[in-house]
Amino acid sequence: MIVWSKSASFRHCRASPVTKHTPRARLVSNSRPFRRAEEIIDAAARVFAERGYHGASTQDIADVLGMRQASLYYYFASKEAALELVCARGVEGHAEAAEAIVAGLDPPLGKLAKLIAAHLAPNATKRDYVKVFINERRYLPTASRRRIGRVSRRIEGNFERVIQAGIADGSMRRDIDPHLAMLSVLGLCNAVINWRRADQAMAVDSIAAQFATLLADGLATNCKRRPRKGL
Amino acid sequence: MIVWSKSASFRHCRASPVTKHTPRARLVSNSRPFRRAEEIIDAAARVFAERGYHGASTQDIADVLGMRQASLYYYFASKEAALELVCARGVEGHAEAAEAIVAGLDPPLGKLAKLIAAHLAPNATKRDYVKVFINERRYLPTASRRRIGRVSRRIEGNFERVIQAGIADGSMRRDIDPHLAMLSVLGLCNAVINWRRADQAMAVDSIAAQFATLLADGLATNCKRRPRKGL
Amino acid sequence: MIVWSKSASFRHCRASPVTKHTPRARLVSNSRPFRRAEEIIDAAARVFAERGYHGASTQDIADVLGMRQASLYYYFASKEAALELVCARGVEGHAEAAEAIVAGLDPPLGKLAKLIAAHLAPNATKRDYVKVFINERRYLPTASRRRIGRVSRRIEGNFERVIQAGIADGSMRRDIDPHLAMLSVLGLCNAVINWRRADQAMAVDSIAAQFATLLADGLATNCKRRPRKGL
Amino acid sequence: MIVWSKSASFRHCRASPVTKHTPRARLVSNSRPFRRAEEIIDAAARVFAERGYHGASTQDIADVLGMRQASLYYYFASKEAALELVCARGVEGHAEAAEAIVAGLDPPLGKLAKLIAAHLAPNATKRDYVKVFINERRYLPTASRRRIGRVSRRIEGNFERVIQAGIADGSMRRDIDPHLAMLSVLGLCNAVINWRRADQAMAVDSIAAQFATLLADGLATNCKRRPRKGL
DNA sequence: TATGAATGAGCGTTCATTCAT
DNA sequence: TATGAATGAACGCTCATTCAT
């Protein structure tokens, strides 16, 4: 339940003001106390996604939760640790899903389509986490950036191997560089999370996946049209 | 007491563009014994009184308190907010006291004398606050200056109405302008706070009240001597 | 290239912007170059009067003049020096005028009325200077504050001596303290400069002088009404 | 003589209350060789690109330049103003180039390829500016974000209109949404700036343009292969 | 006579973090 | 599990002042 209580002009009371205007949503749980940790990192994801890591303060996170800034430190050791947590959750499962697809029996082009769809799926289910991973992971301290980086590379590897396989079996053009192709596909996929929500609503699920498929088609050999050289 | 402070209304995570904090005024009661907070605004009053608002730094206030300058911001949201707090306390009760007197049964001249005495009384009990109100309220940001200004006007109104009543019932000269008379009486009263301490010690409570009473007498009709030109 | 920036993208361009709104006044002389110094201290007086010494920046002064901040230092050695200049001009002549009146032949009550009128006269002719003297002289560095203080004391002395004379010759009540009476009269006179302009327009010249005369009347012995004791 | 000329927003000496500086946007031309200014915004671009707007401090910028941090403010009015300057330069010319291409005689697919190439070209010549525009423009204050936003929309409009033209003349599939296609193309293009430098070296100018061209091919109708579901 | 460029000092404020409770 | 109180560090910014020109 959400409770709006009155209190003082002091900073620490920020979360319980007597507001005159329509109150805004605050994330507060009164059931299932062991879920509290989830809520806290959820709030962090939300705030980091909205304002960027450096643009967000721990106070902002506390505000969303209706708790005091200091209390956050019961749940994470530092702001950077919170960022790593959010980023980690933002790629959680991506690599495994990709590997499962690559291990499957589809032809390379089919695999690529599936990889794209799988890569975009979490945009719908954990938007904020994915957005933070994409936009903010660069601000992680070296150690954890490397940890997260390993996951990124696993994902990229899967895309790249599929493209290589496509070139090898002749289903994709041989005039492309697999590495740059992979970067392009992922670049497009990752751009989606920053689209306006309305655009994204169309993209996530199906549409964007299909546009990505167009890219796969672009790579396909049975496309009569040749790229102009040296453009 | 009632205090207006700035505070954050966190806007629900919207996608980019990033929203900024646009703090809103909040009505906050601090009736419970926030002892430390009292000390802090006391120190602010002292320092503002001594050096003027712009001449005083928050560091000066912190020095008086023996705490770090940054720690002040736990107690007030901004230097300007501290000024408003001090100013508000500097006029607190003035208007109410004046209204009580005006509502009483004394004749206008008696009321005027009482108004003057009541107006000067706080000079003894909360010197710094009154001094800051008188000398520094002009540096308040527009919004709070207006709030404080409303109180000033209530006080002025009471003085003016009593003078009008005195003119109406014939106990005061009809050749004076009530508005200017009010300004003069208050001008003199408010000057006292800036006197040298030794002079003030005599003024506050009795002496200054007596001089002010002389002024009241100056306004009285039963004074034989007439001012020179066409007043 | 064309650039939109807040205020000025280049600080030094402040004085030559392309403004879209109705232009505001700037004090610029194109004749009599040797008068420039006058204009500069005039601008300082204006700005100090409006914003207070500490609330005003040298940039503010430069803005009024349409010149660069650094150029001011050709005319005065420091901001404090400018303040002293303005303050000095704010009391210039006051003491002499008062002394001339006191040396005259009027009876004490007449002298007091003349002193008041003379004291208020400069409010009309050099408002800003007087206002700065009254409100800001406390911020002068010790040395110059003492210099200016000597003038103040001369003025006060004249008022006080006249009151003493009035008491001595029986034309003023003997139950008043001449020192406090002097402070009261000057307190009222000095308050006028801070009144709203509309009020002041009435005060300066005649009305306020006449109210001050009321105070002299209040001090006069031929007033039947006695002050209540111990109010 | 006194001349009232247009300029600075100084408010003519009003009596208290004190007026504040309320700076207004001002149009300033800096066509003359403000060399140092160029260096300063170059440094800002570099630092913002490297660490992100909020991750970079003005001290960081000053360090790059070997000057004191305070001195920066001689060249720009605020950190935000510097960001806007950098962002503005990051898109400068993009819209015009795009419009020139669209106004040309090429068929839609050819125009699209040219648009892509033109859009990527500045990546090589003003990397930092473009990167800041793409990654950090969301942190601009509302007013300037809108100004910059107008340019973005012009660019997007050109891409979208070309795609619409392609659909209209049958050279591009009619089963695609022009808006999403535009977003995808630009999403991919804009991703390039964040690639590792080694990858980018290949992309900028030719390679990435070629991959983007592949995407254009993906959009072309003469591609036999159809995307799976109901596109 | 005035300016462009720069600076050192300091200011108000924010922020991540700590710690006793 | 959470908070009130406080802090050190740094941040963006302003300001009076200097100085070569």
Write the pLDDT tens digit of every residue in D21-60. Answer: 443 333 333 444 468 899 999 999 999 999 999 999 999 9
Dist CA C121 CA C111 (whole Å): 15
Whether the pLDDT of residue A11 is over 60: the answer is no
Classify residue B228 as exposed, middle or buried by CB count within 10 Å of its CB (0-12, 13-18, 19+): exposed
Residue D200 has pLDDT above 90, yes or no: no
The lowest-confidence range among A114-123, B30-39, C131-140, D100-109 is: B30-39
The nucleotide lying nearest D73 (C-alpha to C1') is F13
> Mean pLDDT over residues A211-219, rounded?
54
Beta bridge partners of D2: C29
In chain C, alpha helices (H): 36-51, 58-65, 79-91, 94-103, 108-125, 127-136, 142-168, 178-191, 197-202, 208-219
Chain C residues whose CB is inside 8 A of the B221 CB are: none
| D82 pLDDT above the threshold of 90 | yes
pLDDT reading at A231 higher than 60: no
What's the pLDDT score for residue B200?
A: 79
Give the pLDDT of residue A78: 95
pLDDT of residue D3: 28
Nucleotide nearest to C12 (CA to C1'): E4
Give CA–CA dist A160/A179, Å, rounded: 6
Average confidence score pLDDT of chain A: 78
Find the length of chain B.
231
Distance between CA B62 and CA B67 in Å, rounded? 5
And the tokens for C43?
A: 């601008």
Is any Cβ of chain A less than 8 angstroms from the Cβ of B13? yes
Residue B154 has phi, psi (to 5 degrees) of -60, -45
Average pLDDT of the residues of chain B: 79
- pLDDT score of B213: 56
Give me the sign of the Cα torsion angle A158, A160, A161, A162. positive
> What mean pLDDT is predicted for residues A77-89?
95
Q: CA end-to-end span of chain A, whole Å? A: 60
How far is D41 from chain C, CA to nearest CA, in Å? 11
Instruction: Write down the pLDDT at residue D211.
Output: 54
- pLDDT (0 to 100) of residue D210: 59
pLDDT of residue B134: 97
Indicate if the pLDDT at residue B209 is higher than 70: no
- Predicted pLDDT at B169: 87
CA of B17, closest CA in chain A: separation in Å? 8
Give the sign of the dihedral formed by CA B86, CA B90, CA B92, CA B95: negative
Alpha-carbon distance C43 to A199, whole Å? Answer: 57
Nucleotide minimizing C1' to CA distance for residue A10: F4
Tokens 């064309």 found at: C2
The predicted pLDDT at position A203 comes to 65
Which chain A residue lies closest to D116 (C-alpha atoms)? Answer: A231
Q: How far is CA A61 from CA A48, A129, B1, in A?
A: 9, 14, 30
User: Between residues 116 and 155 of chain D, which touch chain A (CB distance below 8 Å)?
Assistant: 117, 135, 138-139
Rg of chain B's alpha carbons, rounded to an integer? Answer: 21
Residue C15 is predicted with a pLDDT of 26
Task: Look over chain D and give the mean of its residue pLDDT values, rounded to a whole number.
Answer: 79
Instruction: For residues C96 and C84, give the distance between their C-alpha atoms in angstroms, rounded to a whole number.
Output: 19
Cis peptide before C108 (omega within 30 of 0): no
Q: How confident is the model at residue A27 (pLDDT cuts 50, 70, 90)?
A: very low
Judging contact as 3 or more Cβ pairs under 8 Å, the answer for C and B is yes
pLDDT of residue C84: 96
At residue A140, the pLDDT reads 96
d(CA C63, CA B100): 49
Which one of D11, D14, D16, D18 would you mutate to disrupt binding with B, by most B Cβ within 10 Å of its Cβ? D18
Helix (H, G, I), strand (E, B), or coil: what is residue D29? strand
pLDDT of residue C193: 93
Q: How far apart are CA A100 and CA A111, in angstroms?
A: 10
For B6-53, give the DSSP string: EE--PPP-PPSSPPPP--EEEEEE--S--HHHHHHHHHHHHHHHHH-T
Degrees to nearest 5, angle at CA D83 with D98 and D63: 125
Per DSSP, what are the bridge partners of residue B26?
B5
Q: How many CA atoms lie within 13 A of C107 on its CB side?
A: 10
Identify the residue whose tokens are 């400018």: C82
pLDDT at residue number D78 = 96
User: Residue D137 pLDDT > 50, yes or no?
Assistant: yes
pLDDT at position B208 = 47
- Could you tell me the CA-to-CA distances from D141 to B21, C2, D78 in Å, in that order? 12, 19, 11
Asked if residue B127 has pLDDT above 60, the reply is yes
- Output the distance from D62 CA to E8 C1' rounded to whole Å: 15
| Separation in Å, CA of C124 to nearest CA in chain D | 14
Residue B17, pLDDT score: 46
Least confident span in A210-214, B45-49, D44-48, D74-78: A210-214
Spatial CB neighbours of B175, under 8 Å, sequence gap ≥ 6: B231
A13 strand F contact, CB < 7 Å: yes
Q: Report helix, strand or coil for A99.
A: helix
Contact indicator for D194, D131 with CB cutoff of 8 Å: yes
Alpha helices in D169-222 (DSSP H): 178-191, 197-202, 208-219
Residues of chain C with pLDDT under 70: 1-34, 203-231
Position with higher pLDDT, B222 vs C202: C202
Q: Could you tell me the distance in Å between the CA of residue C77 and the C1' of nucleotide F17?
A: 10
What's the pLDDT score for residue C204? 54
Using an 8 Å CB-CB cutoff, list chain D residues near A114.
none
For strand E, is any atom closer than 7 Å to the CB of B57? yes
- Nearest-Cα residue of chain B relative to residue C188: B188
Average pLDDT over residues B76-91: 96
Tell whether the model's pLDDT for residue B197 goes beyond 90: no
Mean pLDDT of D88-117: 92
Q: B23-32, B189-198, B214-223, C151-160 — which is least confidently predicted? A: B23-32
CA distances from A178 to A158, A192, B181, D197 (A): 11, 22, 91, 17
Instruction: Give the model's pLDDT for residue D217.
Output: 59
What pLDDT, on a 0 to 100 scale, did the predictor assign at position B217?
59
Strand E close to A46 by CB, under 7 A: no
Instruction: Work out the end-to-end distance of chain B between its first and last CA atoms, rounded to an integer number of angstroms.
Output: 45
- Chains C and A touch, using 3 or more CB pairs below 8 Å: no
Name, in order, each residue with C-beta under 8 angstroms of A65's C-beta and a sequence gap of 6 or more. A15, A26, A27, A28, A39, A40, A43, A72
CA distance B5 to C155: 45
A198, containing H or E segment: helix A197-202
What does DSSP say about strands C28-29 and B2-7: parallel, antiparallel, or unpaired?
Answer: unpaired
Is the CB of residue B147 less than 8 Å from the CB of residue B158? Answer: no
Burial class (CB in 10 A: 0-12, 13-18, 19+), A73: middle
Q: What pLDDT sits at residue C210? A: 57
Which pTM value belongs to this model? Answer: 0.82
Counting DSSP H helices and E strands in chain D, the numbers are 10, 2
Coil, helix or strand for A140?
Answer: coil
Q: Which of B138-147, C4-13, C104-113, D104-113 has the lowest mean pLDDT?
A: C4-13
Please name the helix (run of DSSP H) or strand (run of DSSP E) that holds residue D113, with its range, or none.
helix D108-125
| Band (D12; pLDDT cuts 50, 70, 90) | very low
pLDDT of res. C109: 83
CA–CA gap between residue C164 and residue A83 (Å, rounded): 79
Q: Is the pLDDT of residue B189 over 80?
A: yes
User: What are the respective helix, strand and coil percentages of chain B, to the nearest 5?
Assistant: 65, 5, 30
D77 touches strand F (CB under 7 A): yes
Could you give the 3-state DSSP secondary structure of residue D57? Answer: coil
**Poorest-pLDDT segment among A196-210, B29-43, D65-79:** A196-210
How far is residue A181's CA from residue A115's CA, in Å, rounded to a whole number? 14
Beta-carbon-side half-sphere exposure of residue D43 (alpha carbons within 13 Å): 22
Bases of strand E lying below 7 A from some protein CB: 1-19
D10 has pLDDT over 80: no
A54 CB within 8 Å of a chain B CB: no
* Residues B2-55: tens digit of each pLDDT: 333 333 322 222 223 444 444 333 333 344 446 889 999 999 999 999 999 999
D74 CB neighbours strand E below 7 A = yes
Contact D213, A230 (CB under 8 A): no
Estimate the crossing angle of helix B127-136 against helix B79-91, to 10 degrees. Answer: 110
Cβ of residue A191 near strand E, that is under 7 Å?
no
Q: What is the dihedral of CA D63, D68, D71, D76, to 10 degrees?
A: 20
When mean pLDDT is compared across A78-92, A187-201, C214-228, D90-104, the lowest value belongs to: C214-228
Query: In this structure, what token pair is assigned to residue B28?
Result: 């906050």
C28-29 and D2-3 as β-strands: parallel, antiparallel, unpaired?
A: antiparallel
